[in-house]
Amino acid sequence: MSFNPPSDLESLESYLQTLLYDLSVQPSDAIFRKTLEKNVPKSFEGLINGEPKDYDSLLKLTLMQRHTFTSLVILKQEFAVIPKDTEGKTGTVFHGWDLSAVQNGKVVKARARCVFEIGWHKGHRVVESGNCIPARETTEKGEEAEEDRGEGRRTGMSAEEAAEKLYEERMEDEYAKREGGA
């Protein structure tokens, strides 16, 4: 497949980076709600830490996180993109990020690894589905925070290893589809 994105369309990586910033980092709940309504359809289906999430539960969870964690700072981000069309409008995007925030007066660090399916709806991109595996939160000194939200203890692998495995599976599926195998 030849990939020729239109010059006026931002990359899938840039789209997702801006979207996640507006949903998670910037402080305005009005911007958060407007961004969510425009970019996440009511038909959204996803998994966060192995638990199914629809639009309403995603809204509730994200609002809770926005009010629990303050002074959120993105420490590191990484992306891998598999476009699904020649214009780069849609695709599968792996996103990993390391964050720092304040929770209950203490600085904590968190890591999440996600795979998103980006679709096209009514003339713009939307997040159709997502699968996120948050890793354990640690304090500024590297100690484990009180609540473990990671997959590590339940699966015997770290959240990062689980996300990498999920990403590799998605990549294999995508390559199989492109070669006519699946």
pLDDT tens column, 40-83:
999 999 999 889 999 999 999 999 999 999 999 999 999 999 99
Average pLDDT in the 129-153 region? 58
pLDDT beyond 60 at 6: no
Residue 69 belongs to some domain of the structure:
yes
| Number of domains into which the chain is organized | 1
Give tens-digit pLDDT for 170-181.
667 666 777 775
CATH code of residue 53: 3.10.450.50
CA 91 – CA 174 distance, rounded (Å): 10
Residue 5 lies in a domain: no
Domain residues for 51?
12-178
* Residues 15-42: tens digit of each pLDDT: 999 999 999 999 999 999 999 999 999 9
Q: Is the pLDDT of residue 101 over 90?
A: yes
CB 174 within 8 A of CB 142: no
Residue 80 CA to residue 163 CA, distance in Å, equals 12
114 in any annotated domain: yes
Chain CA centroid to CA 8, Å: 24
Which residue would you say has higher pLDDT here, 124 or 147?
124
